[in-house]
Amino acid sequence: MTEIIKLDVGSPNKELIESAARIIKAGGLVAFPTETVYGLGADATDADASKKIYAAKGRPSDNPLIIHIAEPEDAEKYAYTNELYYKLAKAFMPGPLTVILPKKDTIPSSVTGGLDSVAVRCPSHPIARALIRASDTAIAAPSANLSGSPSPTCAEHVIADLSGKVDMIIDGGSCEIGLESTIVKISDNSAILLRPGMITCDALRCVLERLEISHAVTEMLAEGERPQSPGMKYRHYAPRAQLILLDGDSESVIEYMRSAQKNESCAIICYDEDSSLLDEKDLIKIGGRDDLETQASTLFSALRQCDSLSVEKVYAHLPSKEGIGLALYNRMIRAAAHTIKKV
Ligand code: TXA
Ligand code: MG
């Protein structure tokens, strides 16, 4: 049985937070909101508890989990930090940034998929922070979706995927950002971006002298290539229908979408201002063309919505790779299995 509780983001009820924390301490699973997406949490220091996460999600056991802490300094208990970590923490924590560091023995290797590094994140969401504090441990939490599905940005998504498979789901409303955290792997003098997010490369470069971007952020992994992050090799975000990204100027893309609507069984994900030019049947608006924040917070809902439509294809604009666009681009090319059509 899954208990579903509603919490107010502004002032989460202390007793309910305590009851959620008791589940974490007892080795159970609690899904909770963060500012990025919902997470499926368990005690990060308890190997058996974190194994339950993999089972509930159907997640491959070599795909490591992010551990969530209440204060940036708490990383000391679980990882070997360095100066760069504290520079990043000062600029971006609490917030949507995950930093990969060498792990300490307090974190079992089942949490890190056997790797000797651990991903650390200090979320800013008041419910997430209250839960971590009350649990008095780090909380291992991947996104609270079934493996392969789009990440959940509201409690309804979590309920659809995990009801009956976890002990508790905390409904804290919609996630503000809607895309998962930016992930950077650092050493004493190097930093590499493994997953783009709301904290952009430009923002990171204000703090880091050098930032490499993993080629897998925008490109397909080569046959047999060992990814820098295990998550890069797994199918993710894809709707059941085939998603095709259209690459071209705005007029050509709209023209292509209009003709597809006439001739094919398809849904369209479009910018708000283009909706009047298209047939409203199976049309999903994702936000204004230049409003990347709204697009970020709507994308995963839009991809889930496609599954409620009986269509064979879904067409959408290929995002730019600038700023927050890089995060949208990264999620959408994966949802589309890199299917891009020039128009
Ligand atoms: O915003 C977020 O980061 C959300 C919320 C819940 O905090 N969490 C999230 O977790 O997106 P998940 O498990 O869905 O994605 C974590 C990604 C995976 O692609 C995983 O492979 C990578 O981080 N990762 C975790 N630990 C790693 C490590 N030690 N080395 C390389 N990649 C790692
Ligand atoms: Mg995920």
Q: Give the pLDDT band (50/70/90) at residue 343.
A: very high
Q: What is the mean pLDDT of the chain?
A: 97
Nearest atom in ligand 1 to 121's CA = 7
CA 153 to ligand 2 centroid distance, Å: 12
d(C-alpha 267, C-alpha 298), whole Å: 16
Cα 78 to chain centroid, rounded: 22
Q: Give the pLDDT band (50/70/90) at residue 235.
A: confident
Interval 17-53: pLDDT, tens: 999 999 999 999 999 999 999 999 999 999 999 999 9
Flag whether pLDDT at 238 surpasses 90: no
Question: Is residue 301 lining ligand 1, measured as CB closer than 6 Å?
Answer: no
DSSP 87-118: HHHHHH-SSSEEEEEEBPTTS-TTTTTT-SEE
Q: For the chain, how are helix, strand and coil distributed in percent, rounded to 5?
A: 35, 20, 45
Q: Tell me the pTM.
A: 0.98
**Please, are residues 194 and 326 in contact by the beta-carbon 8 Å criterion?**
no
Flag whether pLDDT at 4 surpasses 80: yes
Question: Is residue 193 lining ligand 1, measured as CB closer than 6 Å?
Answer: no
Nearest atom in ligand 1 to 144's CA = 6
CA 290 to ligand 1 centroid distance, Å: 28
Which of 227-236, 257-266, 295-304 is predicted with the least confidence, judged by mean pLDDT?
A: 227-236
Mutate to test the pocket of ligand 1, among 121, 143, 199, 235 (most ligand atoms within 8 A of CB): 143
Nearest atom in ligand 1 to 234's CA = 19
Mean of pLDDT values over 111-131? 97
Ligand nearest to the CA of 37: 1
Q: Which two tokens stand for residue 269?
A: 């994900």
The predicted structure's pLDDT at residue 267: 98
d(C-alpha 341, C-alpha 339), whole Å: 7
